[in-house]
Structure 1
Amino acid sequence: MQNARDKAQERPQSAVSYAVGICGLIGLFLWVFIARHFGEVAALFGYMDMPARADGPYSGLLAMLCCALPMICWSIFVDKVHLRESTGINWRQKAKISDIIDDSFVKLVGLWMTWALIAICYFMGRWYWQGPFQFSMQLMEAAIIPLVLLSIPYVIWLDQYLVNRRDGAWHMGAMLAARQGWQSEKIFHHLRAWAVKGFFLAFMLAIVPDGFRAVINADFAQMWTNPVLAAQILIIMMFMVDVQFASVGYLLTMRPLDAHIRTANPYMQGWVAALICYPPILLMANDRPLDYRPDDHSWAFWFAGHDMMLMIWGALLVGLTAIYAWATVAFGLRFSNLTHRGIITNGPYAWTKHPAYLSKNLFWWCATLPFITNGSAAEALRNSMILLLISAVYYWRARTEEKHLGQDPIYQHYMGWMQNNGAVTKFFAHAGAYLSSRFGRGRAQHGGDMNSQ
């Protein structure tokens, strides 16, 4: 009984070790250093006419590779994630190709049809062929034939070791081929998982080049004399880290890495809460219903001329962005919205269940200071109310994610542990209890006064 109680009080083991994210950071920043000194590095190998900096879009993609490879190597050779039972793979039992080829063919049909549906959605969405999304579409067009060809040996090879070969792709193919045994629930899960990947991967790849280019061309020398510029450069760097890790996560949803999608959020409200925070819907964009910054004035404007406040506030914003990026790095190869790919309990997730949402919203409040304005008090109130509504949207997202992940016993254990041990969670719980007690006491006293009258 005591052992069971002690185990319940321990934080559940994270699906991703600390070292995975660290390996990704080392690989990413190694390439950032090389890209910033590309001409000099090339000259060391005898190539004298190379550009001074490698800041192009494909250099940004190479950064993703440099981020992903160390994480893959650590995950396989040190953490040995491919041996986990959660992969659904039994490497000790290899089926004959003749025994699995029929299932593999049906699965390929389902997989290819899924890709075709995603391609149709891309084709129909005009926004995918404008602005930064054009880069994503160029990559998709270049990758489709190699992906189709490589999927054949990959599916056949993996099917030889899978405990249950008839996954969502098989059920999709079986329905299309009029085979017996397909289940609509499996198909819906499969389509939800690929909808997440198709929607978010296009967005992440679209923003990879600009963020990477900004870091490669940043003037670090001026950081020491300009606190605003220093904060801006460091914040851009943190967001670059977030985008790189997130893009890798959406790409590598693979069972041998134990990074596959266990389940995609089955609740419509979860999808609505998430999708309104991203293009093309993005209600927070300029001139959209939840635009909370109509005058474009921010902390640097309001604190101009006060160097100490600029330094303090800039450091605060950098710290919040660092927590936000750290929350993504903690996922290693597994970052993804609206999905369950293993429960993360270390890093900032040892403080609170939603460190990214909390730090992001605090950043917005501290960066924009919506309650300060050159206009009327009504405008300040309007800006604050809109930003409060945005924070409510992220609270809504958090609740729908908990409803989804709460179906996993490990997450249930994690929530119980967090309630008693999470520093941020305990702070809010104590603050809420204090306010409740004060409010309740005030009501009781007020009621006593009324009765005495």
Structure 2
Amino acid sequence: MQRDPRPVSDVSSATGLVGLAGLFTWLLICRNWAAIALAFDLPGPREPLSGPYAALAALLFSGTPMVLWSVLVDRVHRRPSTGIDWDRPRPLSAVVDLSVTKLAGLWATWALIGFTYCIARWYWDGQYLFAMEVIGAAAVPLFVLSIPYVLWLDRVLVEPRDGAWHFGAMLVGREPFDPEQVRIHWRAWLVKGFFCAFMISILPGGWNAVTSVQIDDVGSDPVEWSRWLTELLFLIDVQIAMVGYLVTMKPLDAQIRSANPHLQAWVAALMCYPPFILMGGGGPLDYHFGTADWAYWMEGRTVLLWVWGMVLVVLTAIYAWATVAFGLRFSNLTYRGVLTNGPYRWCRHPAYLSKNLFWWLSTLPFLVTTRNPNDAIRDTVVLALVSAVYFWRARTEERHLLAEDAKYREYHAWMERNPTITRALGRALRAATPRRAVVQPAE
């Protein structure tokens, strides 16, 4: 029997796992900080470290091991896809003019993103206040450190005239620039600017929920156990994903090679996130009217509560695993290499699939407390529309990746040839779709 080998992944499985180990190390320290502080007579609080800055510190504990593993073990910095030639560095004098132009483009980009933060009022309310505090504190160090970083990197880049350089050249007006490179540059930074603020804003909530709850308080309640484990898994997802948004660097081969150029992709993605979210309370795709969660409908049935709760935990674990598998490369709407391991060996979109199954099983939209069949029908249809949005997102992402990389086309074809979840779902969708009559040409 001839083997059909799976294409090699651009990210090793171990990258995400070492990041997960670092995250759990810090999580255990924070949860047990009271005992640690007492044992070593440390100053400060005698309670778990559940505040927002502990959540920020977790990024170092998860990100540092992934960076070290990528460089020291996987040696990603030596890959041709970085666009770097370490063996033939240019003299500093040869790149100064290039670097100044690039810095002009980079700083102007950051200034425009910062101006957008200033005028968009949703960034100055609720959970976004913490994100603005962090970004504001990081602004000056980033501006200062960007100078030695750009000068160092331009010496070894095969082609230092990247998107930032072309944008800088457009602003300076001394050299010809490529408008398409400017558009590529801005699409990538729009992704970073939008999602970094959002991801930072949601770090504290999940961290507090996981570190402040005492396991003894959970007891033997299946509902509380499933909710705490779900919170833990969502925390893993957010922490690893946030690292991915931060380290889009060529020396780590984690750069954004391109952001999705299709308007449909941006519309499909942005409607899933604030302030554009359509699924929130009162939004047009809010499927929660009159619903109660799964625990309400199964109250008193202990075995069923355990089984149902663990199914929800497994679905959330698949969702978190899909993010961990990215290692340093997670971000929406971007192409940063091809991922073929982890859950992606069985499904091209495991995160979307598991997330939507979680929503269906946790909400049960066809059961409503109002006892109004219209509410049940409406909630069910609206949740189906939400799932359709994620199907739309998946298709627009595939359109982008298929056009970008022959390796992704190879992976896509491999998935179609082999017995995977994606292939089974594709067959089911094709079977459920009415076929159009084929008109035969006249002879």
Fold agreement, TM-score > 0.5: yes
Q: Is the 8 A contact 2:291 2:367 kept in 1?
A: no
Match of 1:180 in 2: 175
**Contact residue 289 and residue 375 of structure 2 kept, 8 A:** no
CA deviations 1:46-89 (Å, max 9, x no partner) are 31553321111000000111000010110000000000000000
Change (3 A) 1:214 1:386: same
Q: Which letter does structure 1 place at the counterpart of 2:100?
A: F
SS of the residue corresponding to residue 406 of structure 1 reads: helix
Task: Check if 1:53 corresponds to 2:48.
Answer: yes
Give distance in 1, aligned partners of 2:429 and 2:197. 40
For 1:235 and 1:274, locate their aligned partners in 2 and report how far apart those are by CA, in whole Å. 23
Partner residue of 1:426 out of 414, 423, 429: 423
Q: Which amino acid aligns with 2:84?
A: I
Residue 219 of structure 1 and its aligned partner are, at CA, apart by 2.5
Deviation at 1:305, TM superposition (A): 1.1
1:148-297 equivalences in 2 (<5 Å) = 148-297=143-292
Distance 1:220 1:422, change over 3 A: farther
State how far apart, in whole Å, the 2-side matches of 1:30 and 1:311 are.
28
Q: Post-superposition shift, 1:431?
A: 3.9
Q: Please report the RMSD computed on the Cα atoms of aligned residues, expressed in angstroms.
A: 1.7
The superposition leaves residues 285-342 of structure 1 with CA deviations (integer Å, 9 ceiling, x where unpaired) of 0011110002351101111111111111101100000000000000001100000001
Equivalent position to 1:380, from 370, 376, 383: 376
Identity of aligned residues (%): 50
Question: Within the alignment, does 1:400 sit opposite 2:368 as a pair?
Answer: no
Aligned twin of 2:26: 31
1:389 is matched with which residue: 369, 385, 390? 385
2:334 is matched by which residue type in structure 1? Answer: T
Do structure 1's residue 119 and structure 2's residue 114 form an aligned pair?
yes
Q: Does the 8 A contact of 1:53 with 1:216 survive in 2?
A: yes
Q: Distance in 1 between matches of 2:353 and 2:366?
A: 19
Question: Hey, what does 2:441 align to over in structure 1?
Answer: none
Q: CA deviation at 1:42?
A: 2.5
Pairing 1:300–2:295 present:
yes
Where do 5+ consecutive residues of structure 2 fail to align? 438-443
The residue aligned with 1:44 is 39
Q: Which one of 103, 108, 111 corresponds to residue 103 of structure 2? A: 108
Aligned pair in 2 of structure 1 residues 66, 127: CA closer, same or farther (>3 Å)? same
Partner Cα separation in structure 2 for residue 302 and residue 100 of structure 1: 66
Residues 2-13 of structure 1: matches in 2 within 5 Å?
9-13=4-8
Amino acid corresponding to residue 269 of structure 1 in structure 2: Q
Distance 1:224 1:39 in 2: 21
Asked if structure 2 preserves the Cα contact closer than 8 Å seen for 1:320 and 1:362, the reply is: yes
Q: Are 1:356 and 2:344 matched, yes or no? A: no
Instruction: Tell me the distance in 1 between the aligned counterparts of 2:159 and 2:71.
Output: 22
| 8 Å CA contact 1:39, 1:48 repeated in 2 | no
Q: Which residue of 2 aligns with 1:342?
A: 337
CA contact (8 A) 2:23 2:61 kept: yes
1:181 offset after TM fit, Å?
A: 2.2
Moved more, 215-224 or 353-362: 215-224
Taking structure 1 as reference, are residues 84 and 217 closer, same or farther at Cα in structure 2, changes over 3 Å only?
Answer: same
Report what 1:129 is aligned to: 124
Deviates more, 1:377-386 or 1:220-229: 220-229
8 Å contact 1:222–1:229 — kept in the other structure? no
Q: Distance in 1 between matches of 2:182 and 2:288?
A: 42
- Give, in angstroms, the shift of residue 390 of structure 1: 0.4
SS at match of 2:139: helix
Structure-1 separation of matches of 2:121 and 2:174: 36
Shift of 1:180: 2.0
- On the 8 A contact 2:34/2:46 being kept in 1, the answer is yes
1:415-442 deviation digits (Å, cap 9, x = unpaired)? 0001122521233245457668xx99xx
1:329 and 1:199 map into 2 onto residues whose CA distance is 21
Q: Which amino acid aligns with 2:425?
A: F
CA contact (8 A) 1:15 1:342 kept: yes
User: Alignment partner for residue 76 of structure 1, among 71, 77, 80?
Assistant: 71
Which residue is 2:413 aligned to?
A: 416
Mean Cα displacement is larger for which, 11-20 or 184-193? 11-20
Contact 1:96–1:160 (8 Å) recurs in 2: yes
Distance 2:221 2:112 in 1: 50
Instruction: Kindly tell me the number of residue pairs found equivalent between the two proteins.
Output: 434
- Return the alpha-carbon distance in structure 2 between the equivalents of residues 153 and 368 of structure 1: 51
| Separation in 1, partners of 2:181, 2:418 | 37
1:449 corresponds to: none
> Are the equivalent residues in 2 in contact too, given 1:88–1:162 (CA < 8 A)?
yes
Distance in 1, Cα, partners of 2:44 & 2:240:
32
